[in-house]
Chain A
Amino acid sequence: MVQPLPLNRVLRVVKTRPPASLDEAALLEGLANRDPTLGSELCQRLMHVVDGTLFRVLGRREADHDDLVQVSFEQIVLSVYRGKFSRECTLSTWASAITCNVALRAIRSRRTERKLFDPTQDVEALGPRLSGPRDPEAQLSSRNELDRLRYHLSQMSEKLAETLMLHDVLGCELAETATLVGASVAATQSRLVRGRKELAARIHQDRQALQQRGAAP
């Protein structure tokens, strides 16, 4: 289905990526053999996947974005070298799964770090919005909703959050998600159902808290 473009979007001409010179099998073979000239090839093939996944999961490019890109690439290379990539999905899907994990870990560690070390950060702002601004309309803006969603995902168990991210955010098929999380299809389906329920419950609780706050004198 084609998504309508927002009215304020501006179209511009974008240079297409040059085609990769190696096929995927040759690239994987080279990585497994630790060929130290494949960095550019790998980045050319996967940069948009890694960058896009990080942006979607984190919601913005923060100061450490490039560090996370680098960590993701290193994890991808190590996983291929150590034989963890079973080639049951494409390298792009594998890369997005690894990047998704890197991003989720980043959300969790940012939450802890900011709570502890950033004196300018209001600790409550990272938890349920009980003391936030009193304009409920502003609270329910799309961006804020997604930020809250990220917060809830970071609070959930890694397995459930990872399954939801792969299936519902990155659009992987159920069987593909099962391969990526290393579980059976049935277990993955169960995680998906439990994850959605838990997430819905968290959002529901959050809203109730907001409404109570809004109704308070």
Chain B
Amino acid sequence: MRNDDQEAVDLLRQMGRLVVPLLAPEREASRHERMASSVNRLLQRLRAEPPARRLPVRALGAFSAVAASLALWFGAHRLLRPPQVPAISEVAHVVSVSGESTLVRAGSSPSAVFAEQRVEATDELRSTSGARAELALTGAGKAKVDISGDTRVRLNQRLAGPDAANEDWLELEQGLVTLQVAKLPPGLGLSVQTPDARVTVHGTRFSVRVSPATPSGTVTFVAVTEGRVEVDSRGEVVFLGPGDHWSSQTSAPESDAAPVLPLDRQADASAQVARPIATSLARLPTSHAARVNESTLAEENRLYAQALARAGAGELSPALADLATLILRYPRSPLAQNARVDRFRLLQQSGNGAAAAQEARRYLSEYPSGFARSEARGLALLGLEAPE
């Protein structure tokens, strides 16, 4: 064993003597520049934080006593005076970020978005392709906003309603945002302004997407999952209910029965599987794609709707079979990804963890950047740790 030990040490030393190949000078320089700016950004971010200080134990004791007294005083003070409206300058905070997103603030240079960052009124968020950011708005709706890749959105608030509460409004220039809004008090709403329309809600879950149109301009798509949404476009006001979707190209609400893809039918399934839902609007086909696939869309819709209805009725096996049929027959369908996601969720709901993990792995291999990748990874890992 002694010789074996020495051999292990020799191998370790051999690893330490590996010759590191040089990079081309231009690549070296570009890497140096990138790393230096990354370190500078980090230092700038740290500058924005209060300095980290270590207090001695005695000072901590005294500090705790003072803090307790202050807390009592503030508590009493708050009880005796009316609640204050939060400062309107902070309109949201970043819950999570993946990929690269930039925050553009008037008077400052653009900076990278990071978790827990505060977003101020009129700040603009720009996400790069494949990036994603989740924000919690501070307005009356306490809305959650999911910002998809390639999106530019400005956040703002205004005082509205009888109690002058903060009402959120977003200006979506490009890309996709998905919002979940709690029921708002009367007189208050949440608006998303796009180049083509203004979408106002009073407690719902919906998505708005702005895409470039040919030869110029933009097209706005709206999809509603829950509640009612008011769309005001060129003076025409349209109300959309659950399952409805609208496009500024057609300017008329489309019902579920139409041979156009449903925008977010997962809400029904989510009620049963009790899981957070990502909307399928990101996978909304363009009108051209919809025309090309028109012959099969109705059947794809029918299969998908049937699967969700069966899942809703607790018939999990037939629902799983429907979803499998949809994937097998129409592997290129924009609904195929949703079907895969629904399959691993339903499998998990049915208690078949191993099959759910396997399905989640299949989903990850087919859609490595898919909208449910985090959830699938968690499930795949669970499946690995606790095989059945």
- Interface residues of A, Cβ cutoff 8 Å to B: 3, 9, 12, 14-15, 31, 34-40, 42-44, 47-48, 51-52, 55-57, 59, 61, 66, 69-70, 73-74, 77-78, 81-83, 112, 115-119, 142, 145-146, 149-150, 164-165, 168-171, 196-197, 199-201, 203-204
Contact = CB atoms under 8 A, between A and B. Distances in A.
A146 B15 CA distance: 7
A204 B365 contact: no
Given A37-B40, A40-B32, A204 B12 contact: no
Given A39-B37, A200-B4, 4 more contacts: A55-B20, A77-B43, A165-B12, A168-B13
B42 A164 contact: no
A35 B43 contact: yes
Nearest to B48: A34
Given A43-B32, A73-B35, A57 B43 contact: no
Contacts of A74: 38-39, 42
B18 interface: yes
Given A39-B37, A70-B35, A117-B361, A168 B12 contact: yes
Q: Which 6 A-B pairs have the closest CB atoms?
A: A39-B39, A39-B36, A168-B12, A200-B4, A39-B40, A40-B36
Given A39-B43, A83-B52, A196-B5, A15 B15 contact: no
Contacts, number: 136
A43 B36 contact: yes
A149 B12 contact: yes
15 contacts: A12-B22, A36-B47, A38-B43, A39-B43, A48-B20, A55-B20, A55-B21, A56-B20, A115-B384, A116-B361, A117-B368, A146-B14, A149-B11, A170-B16, A196-B5
B32 A149 contact: no
B365 A117 contact: yes
Nearest to A116: B380
Nearest to A150: B15
B183 interface: no
B52 to A, nearest CB: 6
A13 B229 CA distance: 68
Contacts of A165: 12
Interface string B262-286: 0000000000000000000000000
B11 A197 contact: no
Nearest to B10: A168
Specify the main secondary structure of chain B where it touches its partner: helix
A20 to B, nearest CB: 13
Interface size range on B against A: 35 or more
Contacts of B16: 56, 168-171
Contacts of B17: 3
Nearest to B14: A146
Max count, chain B CB within 10 A of own CB: residue among A31, A44, A77, A117 = A117
Contact of A203 (B7, B47, B380): B7
Nearest to A171: B16
B31 A116 contact: no
Contact of A204 (B4, B14, B21, B44): B4
B54 interface: yes
Nearest to B1: A200
Given A55-B18, A146-B14, A168-B16, A36 B35 contact: no
A200 B361 contact: no
Given A82-B52, A168-B9, A203-B11, A14 B20 contact: no
Contacts of A47: 31-32, 35
A34 B9 contact: no
Contacts of B37: 39
B254 to A, nearest CB: 37
A166 to B, nearest CB: 10
B315 to A, nearest CB: 31
Contacts of B380: 116-117
Contact of A77 (B13, B15, B22, B42): B42
